[in-house]
Amino acid sequence: MLSPRTMSNEATQVEGLPAIIELPGGESVTVPLPAGQVPAYAVLPALRALVNAMMQRVKDASAERGEAITCRAGCGACCRQYVPVSDIEARALAQLLERMPEDRQARVRARFAEAEARLREAGIWDRLARGGRMLPSEHRPMVEGYFHLGIPCPFLEDEACSIHPDRPLICREYLVVSPSIHCAKLERKQIRRLAAPQTSTALHVMDGAHDPENYNVFPLVAVLEWLRRHPQEPELQTAETWIKVFGAAMQVRFGDSVEMVSRPLPEASEEW
């Protein structure tokens, strides 16, 4: 296994002209946006930067209250939870996997296969792999049963995330200020999780823009199976359009008053 020092600590690089994405309250982040018509997953690096800035606000507010965030490398408790993703992040994760050296890629693929075998044995693989939203009555028993199987994320190595810069949005939202032992035992009443913007759900809504009430989500461990079942090419739009769709999903779905406007920096070409 790789040690944390040998894991990838560099985020996926994207070529494009720099653009400003404005956050509520006057803050902004500067990110490269790809040119032309692109699939939604091509703007994930920009969305990750945006989400990181939003989560930093949550962390700063927590520090002002004297609350220490206990999440850190070496505690992989949350990496055994049901981590919902949708098609956008599935495609990005699959591409990330394909770029890994062959020996490392083989180890990660073996973990995906082991997770599938465990979930098949538990009798819940088919339900999880086909995706779709769960009714509240189904969701909690499913995710609790999943957790108690103890299946680690395929990207977990030495109890640390080996793809930390490229991890899903929902992983960025999970910020806990209670002792990690409560997460390890899924003691819900003792887990103190910081309230954070539901950016991951907005991404899922963005993914299901044609039917925002019936978007597809599935566990991260089913990413490869999902893409095998859905080989069709994704929809293409400009990066700026995708950013606006994400902002609309945040605002309409959750009333977070998120109005993001992407535009070229003053020194960028007017043809951008």
Domain of 195 in residue numbering reads as 4-9+19-264
Distance (Å, rounded) from C-alpha 48 to C-alpha 17?
17
Confidence band of 169 (pLDDT split at 50, 70, 90): very high
Q: Which residue has the higher pLDDT, 245 or 121?
A: 121
**182-208 pLDDT, tens per residue?**
777 777 777 788 788 888 988 988 887
Would you state the pLDDT for residue 15? 66
Confirm whether 272 is domain-assigned.
Answer: no
Confidence band of 256 (pLDDT split at 50, 70, 90): low
Confirm whether 270 is domain-assigned.
Answer: no
Confirm whether 269 is domain-assigned.
Answer: no
Separation in Å, CA 109 to CA 1, 93, 94, 103, 221: 14, 12, 10, 10, 10
Indicate the number of domains in the chain: 1
What residues contact 71, with CB distance under 8 A and at least 6 apart?
A: 78, 174, 175, 176, 180
Nearest CA to 152 among 70, 44, 79, 234? 79
Under a CB-based contact definition with an 8 Å cutoff, are residues 212 and 250 in contact? no
Confirm whether 201 is domain-assigned.
Answer: yes
Distance (Å, rounded) from C-alpha 175 to C-alpha 59?
8
Q: What is the pTM of this model?
A: 0.85
Confirm whether 244 is domain-assigned.
Answer: yes
